[in-house]
């Protein structure tokens, strides 16, 4: 496995651990606005993703991410499975178009956003995971243009995603099961948006810890 792919896989494993730690929390969020299984579903998707990692070690990063995305889609995974899988497929394709690692992150996030939008037909402001993913992509782009490191770019994306997820509690849902609740969903964060924030924060923490470890070793 090439070093770039190995680094991405290690990050994905860190994300998986954090999603599992938050499985019950995500289910509780979903229970307030949906059927209460979001945490279980997204962990099942991640389990499928990690199982497929062992089968794609020799592939390019773009091809590997595409295969991981297909594995997620194949789980069924309610609404989140196809959206998450599509995000991986599109992100992998786009990330291969940039040579600078920080810009690969930006392209991957933007492509993931577009993939989710195309698949789910939701818009920013509809109270979905796009309300975390869109600001994350924008913040990552600004950080990359400012010359920040990969770790700093992902950290900026994570903070923006967290702010975006928090903001969904003030939105009236226009997509998904929560749309049927109207104003009754106010005060509750969208579990999909929170999942995106958890993923990006886990990635940011992993990259920061790796950078600190590298500094200590040098």
CATH code: domain 3-217 is 1.25.40.340
- The count of other CB atoms within 10 Å of the CB of residue 214 is 9
Query: For the residues of 151-188, what is the DSSP string, one character each?
Result: HHHHHHHHHHHHHHHHHGGGS---SSGGGGGGGGGTTS
- Tell me the mean pLDDT in the region 168-196: 86
Instruction: For residue 111, give the DSSP letter.
Output: H
In terms of pLDDT, which residue wins out, 181 or 116? 116
| pLDDT in the model for residue 217 | 41
Give tens-digit pLDDT for 117-136.
988 888 999 999 999 999 99
SS3 64: helix
Give the per-residue pLDDT at 97.
60
How large is the average pLDDT for residues 139-150?
A: 97
Exposed/middle/buried for residue 161 (C-beta within 10 Å: 0-12, 13-18, 19+):
buried
What share of the chain has pLDDT > 70, as a percent? 94
Which two structure tokens, joined as six digits, stand for 167?
């903001």
Tens of pLDDT, residue by residue over 42-101, are 999 999 999 999 899 888 888 999 999 999 999 976 789 999 999 999 998 887 665 688
d(CA 64, CA 89): 9
Residue 218 has pLDDT above 60, yes or no: no
Out of 33-37, 48-52, 145-149, least confident range: 33-37
d(CA 97, CA 19): 29
Kindly list the domain boundaries of the chain, sorted by start residue: 3-217
Using CA atoms, how far apart are residues 38 and 215, in angstroms rounded to an integer?
38
> What phi, psi does 56 have (nearest 5°)?
-120, 20
Residue with the two structure tokens 């243009």: 145
CB neighbourhood size of 212 (10 A): 11
pLDDT computed for residue 82 by the predictor: 92
pLDDT (average), residues 10-25: 98
């Amino acid at each position: 496995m090439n070093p770039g792919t190995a680094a991405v896989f290690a990050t994905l494993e860190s994300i998986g651990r954090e999603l599992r730690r938050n499985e019950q929390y995500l289910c509780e969020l979903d229970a307030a606005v949906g059927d209460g299984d979001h945490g279980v579903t997204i962990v099942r998707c991640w389990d499928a993703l990690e199982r497929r990692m062992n089968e794609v070690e020799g592939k390019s990063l773009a091809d590997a991410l595409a295969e991981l995305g297909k594995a997620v889609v194949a789980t069924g995974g309610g609404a989140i499975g196809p959206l998450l899988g599509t995000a991986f497929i599109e992100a992998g394709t786009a990330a291969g178009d940039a040579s600078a690692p920080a810009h690969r992150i930006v392209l991957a996030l933007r492509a993931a956003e577009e993939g989710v939008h195309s698949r789910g037909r939701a818009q920013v402001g509809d109270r979905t995971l796009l309300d975390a993913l869109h600001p994350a992509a924008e913040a990552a782009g600004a950080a990359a243009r400012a010359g920040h490191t990969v770790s700093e770019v992902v950290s900026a994306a994570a903070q923006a995603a967290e702010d975006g997820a928090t903001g969904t509690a003030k939105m009236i849902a226009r997509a998904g099961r929560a749309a049927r609740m109207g104003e009754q969903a106010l005060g509750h964060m969208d579990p999909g948006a929170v999942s995106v924030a958890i993923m990006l924060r886990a990635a940011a923490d992993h990259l920061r810890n790796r950078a600190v470890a590298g500094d200590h070793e040098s």
